[in-house]
Amino acid sequence: MPELPEVEVVCRGLRPYLIQRSIVAVHWSDKDLRVPLPRATLPGLIGQRITRISRRAKYLLIHLANGSLLIVHLGMSGRLGIFPANEPVHRHDHVRWLLDTGLEMRLNDTRRFGSVHLLPPDEAGEAEHSFFHACGPEPLSRSCSPEQLQRQAHGRKQAIKTLLMDSRFIAGVGNIYANEALFAAGIHPDSPAHTLDLGDWQRLLDQLRIILDQAIACGGSTISDFLGASGDSGYFQVNFKVYGRTNQNCPNCGQKISKTRTSGRASFFCPSCQQQKKEQASGSTPPQKTESENSETGR
C-alpha cells in the first residue's frame, strides 16, 4: 500500500502537469472502487481549472477554481499518473480526467480499494473538520509535537507500532516507515505505547521525520507495484535497515534481525538495539500539555 512518502511523491509529480490546467472531459468505468464513484457529480468538473494540489495523510487533494475539492485515495494498488490522451486505456483505468493540454490523468486500481470523492464548494472549506476529522496530526508538520503524541498515548497499552500505524493517532505512517523509525529510535515495536517517556517520543518523531523526508527525496519505496505520477519507481528500499531483512545482520550491532507480528502486520527489529520497555506502574499521572505544544511554527 502506498504510504505517506509515496503519496507525497505522486502529489509533487502531478503539480507541473495539473496546476492552472483545465479539465475538459471526465470518463469512468462501470466498476466502483472502495466506495461508489460519484458519477452524478463528476461531470461538474468539466471546464474547471485546477488551482492547487496538496496531501492530507494518504489522500491527494485537488483544489478547483470554483472552490470544490477532488479527493483521491490510492488504496492498496492505486496509481494516479499522466498519460497522452491517445494512449490505449488499460483494463483497470477506472477514472480518466482529460486536460486542456491533451494529457490525461488516469486512476488505475487493480484491487479497487482506492476511492474518489468530490466535495462541492460549500463542503470543501470544512474538509479538515468533516472528511478528515478522524485523522491524526501530520508527522511532517511542526504542529505535531512529542508532547502531543505522549499525551495522546497516555494510558494506551497497544504496541507502539500499532499506534503509529493508526491514522487517528498520527496521519499516514504505514508499516514500512513505522518499522524503520522504531529501529532508528531504538524502540521495540511491541513496547506498550504508554511506557514511552517524552525523550522516547522526541527521538521517535525526529527519526520518523528524517526517514519520511529521505523516502520522499528517493521517490518513495518500490514495494509491490508502486509507481510515481511519471511512471518512475522509487528507490528508498535500498536504505532499509530492518524492513524485510529477517536474519540479516543489524547495521548497528551485527545481531540478526528478527521478525514477529504486531496486530497482524510484520514487524522487523533488532533484539539487541530495540529492547522492549516494561509496563509502568498503574496510577501514573498524565503528561501535561506544554506551551510549546500550542505554538505552530510551520515546517
The CA–CA distances, whole Å, from 291 to 73, 143, 294, 299 equal 35, 12, 6, 18
User: In one letter, which amino acid is 234?
Assistant: G
The CA–CA distances, whole Å, from 193 to 28, 81, 173, 280 equal 44, 38, 16, 10
Cell of 31: 466498476
**Catalytic residue annotation:** 2-3, 58, 265
